[in-house]
A and B are shown apart, each in its own frame.
Chain A
Amino acid sequence: MIPENIILSKNKKELTLAYGASNSILSAEFLRVNSPSAEAKGHSSDQKKIVSGKKSVSINSIEIIGNYAIRLIFDDGHSTGIYTWQYLQDLFKEKDEIWKEYISELRRKGLNRG
């Protein structure tokens, strides 16, 4: 589903996707560490890298890609993530589990949110 509005908060750390009456809110950190780019995800699942230290990352700008996605440009220079409408919905739906897994993965690797 295509959101009607995509709103970036004043502090640029929170993205709101508005679909009619329902809103999904995703933090810049959450989007950054779950970037779908090959740079972050690798080309196969065993190449997946965990991204740490992004607690204070913010979104500089948003670009619409064709009919199907947005590209987010983060202030740490990461700009290759193309977030499809479907991916954004999936991220929101499974937000809590993804986040819990991310935190425990950080801990296992001795990393932190920064």
Chain B
Amino acid sequence: MSDIKTLAIERLNILNPEYRDLIEDIVVANKKIYLSLKTDKSQVDKFTKIKLQIEKELIGIDGIDSVSVSLTSHSDSKKQAADPKNITKGISEVKNIISVASGKGGVGKSTTSINIAIAINKLGFRVGLLDADVYGPSIPKLIGGKQKPKISKTGNILPIKKYDISLMSIGFLVSEDTPMIWRGPMVITAVNQMLNDVEWGELDFLIVDMPPGTGDVQLTMAQKVPMTGAVIISTPQDLALIDARKGIEMFKKVNVPILGIIENMSIFICPHCNKESHIFGFEGAKIEARNKNVDFLGDIPLEIDLRESSDIGRPIMYSKSDSIVSKKFLDIAKSVVNKTMSTSKSKKPNIIIN
């Protein structure tokens, strides 16, 4: 039944996107759609026309025998009282947007993003996580599998809530094995939707898990979103550092402050003999941070616990919050929060058209 509901909302949206915002409630039962519309008393004629138009449109849905549209009106004060959650769609009430990027793929962006998101939440902030990697979304797997996002009354997408954070990923919308064989414009549409058609509501931090590279998604984000800052992740390996450097340069070009670099897979401590091995090199990212004159936010060791907790979808920051790795994530989260607070937000110029 809920599919008919979604379909009905979609149809209304096609008919006229403004109608979607008028929907007060929609119920499907016994082959019948009951829809109530918010109306303005002073424009009864206009709304009567809309009512007829909507009834005509929805009766065309397969499996529906009748449609009943009722018009309701409230005085404004009453409406607010009756609608306490009043959640905004899009990112207009998100205070800080932090993008997590690497340049190179496979350096642990998504694992780091989810754990930092949970860590920032543990510090007492409201946090969201947007998986902007449309080609290789990893967040669903990292939180223990795909969940289907619900559609709000007004037809927007509601983020998935897990581990006390709000999540959205293209991976929630398609099956795990479906490849996204998309050209640039489709990618841009998908990213725009995840930003603007999702009811993110009020958040202190929205962490954006970026895809690797410097392409369409990065450019769209830089153009559409007033980003507060970027965190760069790299392994200590030269090969990864080359791309991390490109990532840093890209953010500089679009005037997004770099909050700092995190070194992932920095060290491996053998669980049997406690011997330390620098598998991907020694302090590469730390040295790079110094060279580029950006802050070093911390290092995360290569650890079996971290990998295992990621694979079973229980982020270590949540499942083993007192482990060494979790403490590292918490420290990094503190630095990210502090850096965000001290970074002067680039003030938007006022546009004055006489």
Out of A3, A8, A64, A69, which one reaches B354, CB within 8 Å? Answer: A8
Residues 1-26 of chain A, each 1 if its beta carbon lies under 8 Å from chain B, else 0? 01111111110100000000000000
Q: Is the interface on chain A under 10, 10 to 19, 20 to 34, or 35 or more residues?
A: 20 to 34
Q: What is the chain B residue whose CB lies nearest that of A4?
A: B349
A5→B353 CA distance, assembly (Å) = 10
Q: Is A62 an interface residue (CB 8 A)?
A: yes
Secondary structure class of chain B's binding surface, majority of residues: loop
Whether the Cβ atoms of B354 and A68 lie closer than 8 Å is no
A69→B172 CA distance, assembly (Å) = 33
Out of A2, A10, A61, A68, which one reaches B253, CB within 8 Å? Answer: A68
We find that the number of chain B residues with CB closer than 8 angstroms to chain A is: 19
Q: A66-B222, A66-B225, A66-B227 are in contact. Are A6 and B352 (CB under 8 A)?
A: yes
Q: Is B183 an interface residue (CB 8 A)?
A: no
Q: Which chain B residues in 144-202 approach chain A with CB under 8 Å?
A: none
Out of A5, A67, A82, which one reaches B352, CB within 8 Å? Answer: A5
Q: Is A85 an interface residue (CB 8 A)?
A: yes
Residues 330-354 of chain B, each 1 if its beta carbon lies under 8 Å from chain A, else 0? 0000000000000000111111111
A67→B347 CA distance, assembly (Å) = 8
The A/B interface has a contact count, at CB < 8 Å, of 58
Residues 30-72 of chain A, each 1 if its beta carbon lies under 8 Å from chain B, else 0? 0000000000000000000000000000000110111111100
Q: How far is the CB of B89 from the nearest CB of chain A, in Å? A: 20
Task: List chain A residues, Cβ under 8 A from B348.
Answer: 64
Whether the Cβ atoms of A2 and B347 lie closer than 8 Å is yes
Whether the Cβ atoms of B223 and A65 lie closer than 8 Å is yes
Q: Which chain A residues in 75-96 approach chain B with CB under 8 Å?
A: 82, 85
Q: How far is the CB of A14 from the nearest CB of chain B, in Å? A: 10
Q: Is B256 an interface residue (CB 8 A)?
A: yes
Q: Is B224 an interface residue (CB 8 A)?
A: yes
Whether the Cβ atoms of B254 and A7 lie closer than 8 Å is no
Q: How far is the CB of A73 from the nearest CB of chain B, in Å? A: 12
Q: How far is the CB of A43 from the nearest CB of chain B, in Å? A: 16
A69→B223 CA distance, assembly (Å) = 8
Whether the Cβ atoms of B351 and A62 lie closer than 8 Å is yes
Whether the Cβ atoms of B253 and A6 lie closer than 8 Å is no
Q: What is the chain A residue whose CB lies nearest that of B222?
A: A66
Whether the Cβ atoms of B354 and A5 lie closer than 8 Å is no
A85→B254 CA distance, assembly (Å) = 10
Q: Is B80 an interface residue (CB 8 A)?
A: no
Q: A2-B346, A4-B349 are in contact. Are A9 and B222 (CB under 8 A)?
A: no
A76→B353 CA distance, assembly (Å) = 18
Whether the Cβ atoms of A9 and B223 lie closer than 8 Å is no
A3→B346 CA distance, assembly (Å) = 10
12 A-B pairs with CB atoms under 8 Å apart are A4-B347, A5-B350, A6-B352, A7-B354, A8-B352, A8-B353, A10-B354, A66-B222, A66-B226, A66-B254, A67-B226, A68-B254
Q: Which residues of A contact B (CB under 8 A)?
A: 2-10, 12, 61-62, 64-70, 82, 85
